Amino acid sequence: MIRKATDRIAQLLMAPRSSVRMFAAAATTLALTLGATDVRAQAAHSGHQGGADHAAIMAVVQKLFDGMRKGDSTMVRSVFAPNVRMITVAPRQGVMTASVTNGADSFAKAVGTPHTEVWDERIANEKVFVDGALASVWVDYAFFRGTTFSHCGVDHFLLTKSDAGAWTILELADTRRNTGCEQWTKK
Note the Cα 152 to chain centre separation in Å.
12
pLDDT of residue 186: 82
CATH classification number, 47-185, choose in 3.20.20.120, 3.10.450.50, 3.40.50.300, 3.40.30.10: 3.10.450.50
Contact 175, 89 (CB under 8 A): yes
Residue 187 to residue 149: CA distance in whole angstroms: 12
Rounded to two decimals, what is the model's pTM? 0.74
pLDDT of residue 60: 98
pLDDT of residue 21: 44
pLDDT of residue 122: 97
pLDDT along the chain (187 residues), means of 10: 48 48 46 39 46 92 97 96 96 92 94 94 97 97 96 97 96 95 85
pLDDT of residue 138: 98
Residue 17 to residue 21: CA distance in whole angstroms: 7
Contact 154, 90 (CB under 8 A): no
Q: What residues does each domain of the chain span? A: 47-185
27 Cβ neighbours under 8 A, 6+ residues apart: 39, 156
